[in-house]
């Protein structure tokens, strides 16, 4: 029985000649008319799992043996191309690791070559301190690098946070120049430059220049 007009031998694809019959199908507790197809009786089709032709049925041991051999040989023939494909993937993966290694080595060599972290360029600092860059293995250094740069400026280079310079001068900056904030660590000279480009409470330009000269 089939809902399709085309019924084939499951083993050799032989197409059976068929006849149709009007039947009923139960759906949602109601019967509906359907057309169903069957192999003609003279085809001598055998319903095993699906229909099998008479020739295959009478020779089924051999047919199934050949079918299994064919499946095995197909598998064996595909092994080499599967291996080649996996090898290509593997080599590509190794190349990626090599590329990463090279990048890490470059940063590592750069770190070894400098006397102080303050010599690091902006891009390197960004790559080494970013949790998202994945260009260098993460460590405490990833999280502390930016802080370390500021602290090193304060402890080794007599620099201060701008808010500390402000405190020393008894002033309060209203508006900092672009790129600066109260937490920026700067040298005295840089702070003077910041003052000249800031808006300061109760001070006009003349007063600011006087202040800068007095520092
Ligand atoms: Zn057949």
- What does the pLDDT look like over 85-117, one tens digit per residue? 999 999 999 999 999 999 999 999 999 999 999
Q: What pLDDT shows up at residue 29?
A: 87
Q: How many Å lie between the centroid of ligand 1 and the Cα of residue 21?
A: 24
Mean of the pLDDT values across residues 8-31? 93
pTM score: 0.58
Q: How many Å lie between the centroid of ligand 1 and the Cα of residue 24?
A: 30
Q: How many Å lie between the centroid of ligand 1 and the Cα of residue 15?
A: 9
Token couple for 87:
């090898």
19, β-bridge pairs = 38
Q: How many Å lie between the centroid of ligand 1 and the Cα of residue 16?
A: 10
Count of CA atoms in the C-beta half-sphere (13 A) of 115: 1
Express each pLDDT in 142-197 by its tens digit.
999 999 999 999 999 999 999 999 999 999 999 999 999 999 999 999 999 999 99
Q: How many Å lie between the centroid of ligand 1 and the Cα of residue 44?
A: 11
Q: How many Å lie between the centroid of ligand 1 and the Cα of residue 54?
A: 7
**Of 211, 150, 152, 158, which Cα lies nearest the Cα of 185?**
150
Q: What pLDDT shows up at residue 215?
A: 83
Confidence of residue 28 (pLDDT cuts 50, 70, 90): confident
């Amino acid at each position: 029985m089939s809902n399709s007009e085309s019924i084939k031998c499951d083993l050799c694809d032989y197409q059976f000649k068929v006849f149709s019959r009007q039947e009923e199908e139960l759906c949602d507790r109601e019967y509906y008319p359907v057309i169903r197809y069957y192999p003609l009786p003279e085809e001598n089709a055998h319903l095993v799992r699906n229909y099998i032709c008479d020739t295959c049925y009478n020779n089924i041991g051999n047919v199934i043996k050949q079918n299994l051999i064919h499946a095995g040989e197909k598998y064996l023939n595909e092994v080499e191309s599967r291996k080649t494909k996996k090898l290509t993937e593997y080599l590509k993966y190794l190349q990626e690791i090599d590329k990463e290694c090279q990048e890490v080595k470059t940063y590592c060599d750069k770190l070894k070559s400098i006397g102080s972290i303050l010599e690091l360029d902006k891009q390197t600092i960004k790559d080494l301190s970013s949790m998202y860059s994945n260009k260098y293995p993460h460590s405490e250094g990833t999280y502390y690098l930016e802080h370390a740069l500021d602290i090193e400026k304060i402890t080794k280079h007599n620099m201060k946070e701008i808010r500390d310079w402000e405190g020393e001068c008894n002033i309060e900056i209203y508006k900092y120049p672009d790129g600066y904030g109260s937490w920026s660590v700067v040298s005295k000279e840089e702070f003077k430059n910041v003052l000249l480009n800031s808006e300061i409470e109760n001070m006009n330009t003349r007063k600011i220049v006087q202040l800068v000269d007095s520092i």
